Amino acid sequence: MTTLTNSGPIKPSLTILGLETSCDETAASVVRRGEDGRVEVLSSIVGTQFEQHAPFGGVVPEIAARAHVEAIDGVVAEAMRAAGIDFEALDGVAATAGPGLVGGVMVGLAFGKAVALARDLPLVAVNHLEGHAVSARLGADIPYPFLLLLVSGGHCQLLEVAGVGACTRLGTTIDDAAGEAFDKIAKSLGLPYPGGPALETLAASGDPTKFDLPRALLGRKDCDFSFSGLKTAAARLAEKVTGEQERADLAAAVQFAIARQLSERTDRAMKLYAASHPGQPLRFVVAGGVAANGAVKAALRRNCDDNGFSFDAPPLAYCTDNAAMIALAGAERLAAGVSDDLDAVARPRWPLDEAAALSNPSNSFGRKGAKA
For 91-100, what is the mean pLDDT? 96
The sign of the CA dihedral 222, 224, 229, 230 is positive
Average pLDDT, the chain: 90
Specify the amino acid at residue 152: S
Domains and CATH numbers, the chain: 14-139+317-359 (3.30.420.40), 146-313 (3.30.420.40)
The radius of gyration of the chain's CA atoms, rounded to the nearest angstrom, is 20
Judge residue 111's burial from the number of C-beta atoms within 10 Å of its C-beta, 0-12 exposed, 13-18 middle, 19 or more buried.
Answer: buried
Q: Dump the DSSP string for 340-369.
A: B-TTPPP-S---SSHHHHHHS-SS-TT---
Q: Which position has the higher pLDDT, 357 or 195?
A: 195
pLDDT score at 194 = 80
Q: Are 23 and 3 in contact (CB under 8 A)?
A: no
**Contact at 8 Å (CB) between 37 and 87?**
no
Interval 293-339: pLDDT, tens? 999 999 999 999 999 999 999 998 999 899 999 999 999 999 999 99
Distance CA(352)–CA(172), nearest Å, equals 11
Say if residues 1 and 354 touch (Cβ distance below 8 Å). Answer: yes
Helix, strand or coil, per DSSP, at residue 284 = strand
Q: What is the pLDDT of residues 248-263, one digit of tens each?
A: 999 999 999 999 999 9
- Beta carbons of 98 and 127 less than 8 angstroms apart: yes
In whole angstroms, give the CA distance from residue 308 to residue 270: 9
pLDDT tens for each residue of 116-142: 999 999 999 999 999 999 999 998 999
Contact predicate 330/164, CB 8 Å: no
What does 174-219 look like in DSSP terms, one character per residue?
SS--HHHHHHHHHHHTTPPSSHHHHHHHHHTTS-GGGS----TTTT
Distance, in Å, from the CA atom of 188 to the CA atom of 250, rounded to the nearest integer, reads 11
Beta-bridge partner residues of 127? 98
* Residue 156, burial from CB neighbour count under 10 angstroms (0-12, 13-18, 19+): buried
Q: Which pLDDT band holds residue 153 (cuts at 50, 70, 90)?
A: confident
Cα–Cα distance, 12 to 158 (Å, whole number): 32
pLDDT tens per residue, range 25-76: 999 999 999 988 889 999 999 998 878 887 887 789 899 999 999 999 999 9
Which range scores top for mean pLDDT: 9-18, 322-331, 360-369?
A: 322-331
